[in-house]
Amino acid sequence: MTRQPLLKLEKFSVAYGPVRAVDEVCLELNEGEIITVIGPNGAGKSTILNAIMGILPSSGETWFDGQMLVKHSVSQMVANGLCLVPETRELFGSMSVLDNLILGGFYRWRKGMRDQEENLNGVFKIFPKLKERRNQTADTLSGGERQMLAIGRALMAKPRILMLDEPSLGLAPKIVYEVLQTVSSLRASGISILLVEQNARGALKIADRGYVLETGKVALEGVAKDLLNDQKMIDTYLGLGNNSNNL
């Protein structure tokens, strides 16, 4: 029995004036999956996430849980159960770790769900370092800890889909490994994950499927394990791929 994909993009485009940063991309995320969107810099990966979240305007069709979306605002996406951890993290720097996390649960609180305490303990179990530093202000944390806080804050909303924009950015290799492993383990709690990454190898190792983006278009897609060793993917990354060589 094939279930409907949880999130489906059909001919999804995002334009900055005359330039199409994302060009008619088709993408699917099934429930419980981790998919990754990788590709060289400037390929449009962050743009896709921002547009799905409603921060940027987009054209084309977005289907969520079998329903096509008509209104595409940030508040609408939050209501649907999507959470974005942006590249810039957007933490509340001068507020404490605890407050940042509590605010992550704001939407649920507003809707009358009072499970913040329980969710908080869940997040602390995944990220024990955050529990240690819960009274420190967010801007005193290290890069890796900030990343964990950003993900933890997103988890407080108990999202159905978690979107991560380059979580490995600026982090030392060892921390990158930790973060990616943690992301992988989230699968167990039933969250579906859309991971945008520059670190292709790391991302493909934890994902089920992958999409390789290049200048706004999907250049390659497939099962993650296959993509890992695909020569074409490697060439694309280094700008020597056949797709780009139309000089």
Query: Which residues are at the interface with another protein (CB under 8 A)?
Result: 16-19, 40-42, 53, 55, 73-75, 78-79, 83-84, 86, 90-95, 99, 102-104, 106-107, 109-110, 143, 153, 157, 166, 168-170, 172-173, 176-177, 180, 197-203, 205, 234, 237-240, 244-247
Distance CA 46, CA 89 (A): 12
Compute how many other C-beta atoms are within 10 angstroms of the C-beta atom of residue 219. Answer: 20
Q: Which is nearer to another protein, 5 or 212 (CB)?
A: 212
Scanning the structure block, which residue is given the tokens 């699968």? 187
Q: Which is nearer to another protein, 64 or 107 (CB)?
A: 107
Going by C-alpha positions, the residue among 91, 89, 90 that lies closest to residue 137 is 91
Taking the complex as a whole, how short is the minimal distance between the CB of residue 131 and another protein, in angstroms?
19
Taking the complex as a whole, how short is the minimal distance between the CB of residue 226 and another protein, in angstroms?
16
Taking the complex as a whole, how short is the minimal distance between the CB of residue 123 and another protein, in angstroms?
14
Q: Which is nearer to another protein, 5 or 97 (CB)?
A: 97
Taking the complex as a whole, how short is the minimal distance between the CB of residue 136 and another protein, in angstroms?
14
Distance CA 127, CA 2 (A): 35
Answer yes or no: are the C-beta atoms of 81 and 154 closer than 8 Å. Answer: no
Q: Which is nearer to another protein, 5 or 214 (CB)?
A: 214
Taking the complex as a whole, how short is the minimal distance between the CB of residue 78 and another protein, in angstroms?
4
Distance CA 110, CA 184 (A): 30
Calculate the CA dihedral of residues 15, 220, 147, 95 and round it to 10 degrees. 20
Helix, strand, coil percentages (3-state) for the chain, rounded to 5, are: 40, 25, 35
Q: Which is nearer to another protein, 5 or 102 (CB)?
A: 102
Taking the complex as a whole, how short is the minimal distance between the CB of residue 158 and another protein, in angstroms?
12
Scanning the structure block, which residue is given the tokens 């934890």? 206
Going by C-alpha positions, the residue among 67, 84, 100 that lies closest to residue 166 is 84
Q: Which is nearer to another protein, 5 or 38 (CB)?
A: 38
